[in-house]
Homo-oligomer: A and B are copies of this chain.
């Protein structure tokens, strides 16, 4: 075995994805030959574990130890200071969806700290933040990997990067980028059979845990817009923000002002006829309706919203809450390169994070 140098790892966020990541990290550490990883810092929004001399925090049983800890998390700029002073290279794993943590990246990266994260905020916020991050990385040599920011563990970002880096011309990217939207439309407008009422499907999706606690956070299309922003930028389009292109919201105007998600769900049936019309119009054309995001690279146009597809189209034939991403490129010609599968969930999101961690380790260790 070639010699592997010591690497410190810091983790912020121990929620659903964070817990799955910790379990994958543990099994990584038990494998031979195992990377020489030392957990130097771990924090939730309220508690933290770390040692001033950078001695290892034990990964085994860390969530219990964290609950019992009397240490508060360091202020974010202090986290960077603490990590930058570590006696070896550092990887910061951001398992939050926090804008504040995202805004820390340029500073961290400029101090040589590599970033691995499923957090969409840093890559789909202002173009300036994106630019600051990658400029800092090209100066300091620190690595930035965020596979799980689109499609969870599915090989979406790595595939797009490979296409671009090897000189292919991506012409169009089109797909279903939300597990929630996938589930809703596969049930509401199936390729065979009638499908349920729109408001019933939304309630069912919420009951099954497929939506955010307030389903409007999925129905407004912003989550998909964020993912499209990331892919468009990787394809070379300097999209200013997720508000810079048309995004169709599925929240009826009249319900935007509902005080709670419950009130929204209660009133949603009054608007079922609107969605029925959309479905009927698609059926008249022999098609089904789906909520998709698309990027046309030549015209630099990005959009998110309802589109109609033939029942035989891969986007129409999607199942359950799967994502599908179609890359149309010069090399691949008329048939796109397709990646498909679960695009949400703790385990598969953490898998993207862990795989990224392994890639960074292979480059800096």
Chain A residues in contact with chain B, CB under 8 A? 1-2, 24, 27-28, 33, 138-141, 153-155, 158-159, 162-163, 165-168, 191, 312, 314, 317, 319-320, 322, 327, 331-342, 345, 347-348, 350-351, 354-355, 358, 362-363
Indicate how many identical chains form the complex.
2
Query: Which residues from B are CB-within-8-Å of A163?
Result: 351
Instruction: State how many angstroms separate the Cβ of A319 from the closest Cβ of chain B.
Output: 6
On whether the beta carbons of B338 and A338 are closer than 8 Å, the reply is yes
Instruction: State how many angstroms separate the Cβ of A190 from the closest Cβ of chain B.
Output: 11
On whether the beta carbons of B317 and A355 are closer than 8 Å, the reply is no
On whether the beta carbons of A333 and B342 are closer than 8 Å, the reply is yes
Known A140-B2, A335-B319; judge A351-B155 contact (CB<8 A).
Answer: no
Known A351-B168, A355-B165; judge A332-B338 contact (CB<8 A).
Answer: no
On whether the beta carbons of B27 and A167 are closer than 8 Å, the reply is yes
Query: What are 30 A-B contacts with C-beta separation under 8 Å?
Result: A1-B139, A2-B141, A24-B166, A24-B167, A153-B162, A153-B166, A153-B331, A153-B337, A155-B155, A155-B339, A158-B158, A162-B351, A166-B350, A166-B351, A166-B355, A314-B314, A314-B317, A320-B334, A322-B335, A327-B341, A331-B345, A331-B347, A332-B342, A337-B340, A337-B341, A337-B342, A338-B339, A338-B340, A339-B340, A363-B363
Q: Give bound CA distance, A314 to B319, whole Å.
A: 11
Instruction: State how many angstroms separate the Cβ of A69 from the closest Cβ of chain B.
Output: 27
Q: Give bound CA distance, A168 to B355, whole Å.
A: 11
When C-beta atoms are compared, the residue in chain B nearest to A168 turns out to be B351
Instruction: State how many angstroms separate the Cβ of A92 from the closest Cβ of chain B.
Output: 18
Query: Which residues from B are CB-within-8-Å of A168?
Result: 351
On whether the beta carbons of A154 and B2 are closer than 8 Å, the reply is no
Q: Give bound CA distance, A154 to B163, whole Å.
A: 10
Query: Which residues from B are CB-within-8-Å of A139?
Result: 1-2
Q: Give bound CA distance, A340 to B317, whole Å.
A: 14
Query: Which residues from B are CB-within-8-Å of A140?
Result: 2
Q: Give bound CA distance, A88 to B84, whole Å.
A: 31
When C-beta atoms are compared, the residue in chain B nearest to A319 turns out to be B335
On whether the beta carbons of A165 and B358 are closer than 8 Å, the reply is yes
Q: Give bound CA distance, A168 to B166, whole Å.
A: 29
When C-beta atoms are compared, the residue in chain B nearest to A27 turns out to be B167
Query: Which residues from B are CB-within-8-Å of A33?
Result: 138
Q: Give bound CA distance, A334 to B322, whole Å.
A: 11
Looking at the complex, which one of B166, B314, B335 makes contact with A354 (CB distance below 8 Å)?
B166
Instruction: State how many angstroms separate the Cβ of A156 from the closest Cβ of chain B.
Output: 10
Q: Give bound CA distance, A183 to B122, whole Å.
A: 43
Q: 4 new A-B pairs (CB below 8 Å) besides A331-B345, A338-B340?
A: A155-B158, A314-B317, A332-B341, A337-B340
On whether the beta carbons of A336 and B341 are closer than 8 Å, the reply is yes
On whether the beta carbons of A339 and B342 are closer than 8 Å, the reply is no
Query: Which residues from B are CB-within-8-Å of A27?
Result: 167
Q: Give bound CA distance, A81 to B363, whole Å.
A: 27
Instruction: State how many angstroms separate the Cβ of A244 from the closest Cβ of chain B.
Output: 27
Interface centre among A140, A165, A331, A334 (most CB of B within 10 A): A331
